[in-house]
Structure 1
Amino acid sequence: MNTSQQAHKATMKPYRVNGKWYYPTQVALGETYEGIASWYGPKFHGKKTSNGETYSMYAHTAAHKTLPMNTIVRVTSKENGKSTIVRINDRGPFVTGRIIDLSNSAARDIEMVGKGTARVHLEVIGFNGTISDSMPLNQETLARSEYKVAHTQERMQLSHFLVQIGAFKNKSGAVKYQSTHANAHGYQAVIREYVAQGSPIYRVLLSGFKSEAEARDFIASQKIAGAFITTE
């Protein structure tokens, strides 16, 4: 990850780093890519990612230059055959030849921490933090994953923007928070469940934003602590 990316508030619109433009793209289940993976850890732990989350070196997440945020990717080392499952929540790496930046935990899964980089095969297996139930994955791989398996769309469209305004360990807390923001400023409050480090998290989001700029302006005007943009 390059620290200059932290200045980029946008998560889906084209952006420029070191004079080069990058264009986030639509993507379908099963699409594959190959390249060099690197990893980032303690230096960035606790800092903001490109979509506004707080980076944890212990979570299974990753940075990619163009895949939509919250895309789920299986990363397989071509050097030892080991694999891990990560969720894209950051932009990078901006080093020539590198395709993905893994969290420390994900890098440990494929035994590349000591070496620093590895040749990898990437496969898109889900969206919105959920592994698609249409993807053939072995039970060992799924057992190590932080993410739930459910039905997802076949392709990620970059047109539905939401703003996360809260996250709760208990569903009752999320439901109560949702009710108090049911129609906040004309936006509908919805709840989405996902699994983080083996435990369910209930996310409360506002939907109905017509563009990323509209969502970004809403966050700035309302000053909601910890709010960030996502898509579905």
Structure 2
Amino acid sequence: MLMMLPRNRFALSGFHLLCALLVLMVGCSQQPAQKTPPTTGNEGRYKHDKDFGPDEDVDLSHVPDAVPRHEQRTRAGNKNPYTVLGKTYYLMEDETAYRERGHASWYGKKFNGYHTSNGELYDMYAMTAAHKTLPIPSYVRVTNLQNGKSVVVRVNDRGPFHDGRIIDLSYAAAQRIGIHKTGTGYVEVEIALPNDATPIPRRPQTQQGQVESVLPPGTFLQVGAFGSRQAAQDFANRLRAQLTIPVVVTSASQPREIHRVRVGPFKDAASLQQGRNQLARLKIFDAHVVYQQ
């Protein structure tokens, strides 16, 4: 009778060890899962070192100017004083005579969709702007002093906090006055008042102490713009029959043919207001100030 010998315990342990080694080798041959890098705190608009415009050229000439109107001014965006980059700024107590010349810049896609100083969302395709000391909201006319182009914008943000710059325009506004490609431009910024887009000029005192309100030479009110010269002349002739102030037609062929109907010129704020009153009797309320050399 044969006796059954017990299985070798060491051989069994060796088999298990071999299996364990095979599993380990298979596991090591697989690449570990890639981990998501931790956030650096430099997200959102601040992940971009520089600002930039649209990916492709966009014609924004159809975007209308901002229309000055009465708006309630809240504490949002009107903290006074406030400090940025170690410098303290104080808001204007009376902006009704504000007029200033300096360099304008623009901000675009880097800030598009982010909150402005008063909590609104910045829209680079709207007619808005940032200013350091004007109350929010305010309306100003910005004129490029190199080409005469102007636009009315609504101030709803703070900035620009760069030396030598007095206003930061939206991309649309910058395109309107022709500084979107150069980045900056020398401009005049003047207040535009609700129901009367005429900026109130500074009122210097004469030696006798009297206050005068002299307007710059060539100040006109523009009342219409036409693609047809004949249409502009017909409109001007109708106005001449009903106004006591001169009516002129100015024409330009670049960048496209346009014929502008203007009344004036006006020497001071009083005569300008008289002109507005005459236009109002004809139901013309949207005339705006232009300067013609």
**Which bracket does the TM-score occupy, shorter chain normalised?**
0.5 to 0.7
Partner of residue 64, structure 1: 131
1:53 and 2:120 equivalent?
Answer: yes
**Distance change in 2, residues 1:15/1:138 (3 Å):** same
- Structure number with greater CO (CA < 8 Å, separation at least 6) is 1
Shift of 1:139: 3.4
Shift of 1:94: 0.2
Contact 1:125 / 1:131 at 8 angstroms: preserved in 2? no
Contact 1:34 / 1:121 at 8 angstroms: preserved in 2? yes
Contact 1:72 / 1:131 at 8 angstroms: preserved in 2? no
Shift of 1:137: 4.7
Partner of residue 160, structure 2: 93
Specify the code of the residue in structure 1 equivalent to 2:145. K
Equivalenced residues, count? 133
1:132 and 2:199 equivalent?
Answer: no
Specify the code of the residue in structure 2 equivalent to 1:45. N
Contact 2:129 / 2:156 at 8 angstroms: preserved in 1? yes
Which deviations, in whole Å up to 9, do the C-alpha atoms of 1:59-80 show, x marking residues without a partner?
Answer: 1000000000111100000111
Shift of 1:138: 2.3
**Distance change in 2, residues 1:27/1:42 (3 Å):** same
State how far apart, in whole Å, the 2-side matches of 1:90 and 1:137 are. 29
State how far apart, in whole Å, the 2-side matches of 1:63 and 1:140 are. 29
Where 1:107 maps in the other structure, the secondary structure is helix
Contact 2:127 / 2:153 at 8 angstroms: preserved in 1? yes
State how far apart, in whole Å, the 1-side matches of 2:195 and 2:107 are. 23
Specify the code of the residue in structure 2 equivalent to 1:18. L
Where 1:34 maps in the other structure, the secondary structure is strand
1:109 and 2:176 equivalent?
Answer: yes
Where 1:59 maps in the other structure, the secondary structure is coil
Q: Quote the RMSD (CA, aligned, Å).
A: 2.4
Contact 2:77 / 2:119 at 8 angstroms: preserved in 1? no
Which deviations, in whole Å up to 9, do the C-alpha atoms of 1:130-186 show, x marking residues without a partner?
Answer: 452565752359xxxxxxxxxxxxxxxxxxxxxxxxxxxxxxxxxxxxxxxxxxxxx
| Aligned with 1:24 (options 91, 101, 104) | 91
Which deviations, in whole Å up to 9, do the C-alpha atoms of 1:175-226 show, x marking residues without a partner?
Answer: xxxxxxxxxxxxxxxxxxxxxxxxxxxxxxxxxxxxxxxxxxxxxxxxxxxx
**Distance change in 2, residues 1:137/1:72 (3 Å):** farther
Identity level (%): 48
State how far apart, in whole Å, the 1-side matches of 2:142 and 2:99 are. 10
Shift of 1:27: 2.7
Higher CA-based Rg: 2
Structure 1 unaligned spans of 5+: 142-232
| Aligned with 2:105 (options 29, 38, 44) | 38
Where 1:138 maps in the other structure, the secondary structure is strand
TM-score, reference length from structure 2: 0.42
Contact 1:30 / 1:125 at 8 angstroms: preserved in 2? no
